[in-house]
Structure 1
């Protein structure tokens, strides 16, 4: 009887590292943009309320209170 060897397939990850890094970067940027549009009251922007006034109408359109 010949000796048989079991061949195991090489396991590959379902998601590549590059795709995962890209997805995490996009999510982080979207969270930052969401924060700046919805909740920044001049804390991040160095020019005072400039960012707040720039995003003012967008906040009301999204239903985010800013007053």
Structure 2
């Protein structure tokens, strides 16, 4: 009869505070970018027509209604 070994439970994964802050920063940056591209309509991007047109083209590329 084969020998049966005891199975040790897996230890829970730990997340370092640095990784948590980095992930939070990335999520905030992506949400800000999504807001600027999808919902801004020129309120924040008044630094010139180039940025406004870039965001406008991004809306069309993503299929977000803008007109």
Fold match by TM threshold 0.5: yes
SS at 1:55 equivalent: helix
- What's the CA shift for 1:58? 1.8
2-side partners of 1:37 and 1:49: how far apart? 14
Which blocks of at least 5 consecutive residues in structure 2 are unaligned? Answer: 1-12
Residue 46 (structure 1) aligned with residue 59 (structure 2): no
Residue 27 of structure 1 corresponds to: 27
Question: Between Structure 1 and Structure 2, how many residues are aligned?
Answer: 56
Bigger Rg over Cα: 1
| Larger RCO, structure (CA 8 Å, separation 6 or more) | 2
4+ residue runs of structure 1 moved beyond 4 angstroms?
Answer: none
Residue 9 of structure 2 corresponds to: none
Which blocks of at least 5 consecutive residues in structure 1 are unaligned? Answer: 1-12
- The C-alpha deviation readout for 1:14-65, integer Å capped at 9, x for no partner, is 1010000000000000000111111111111234765332222221121101
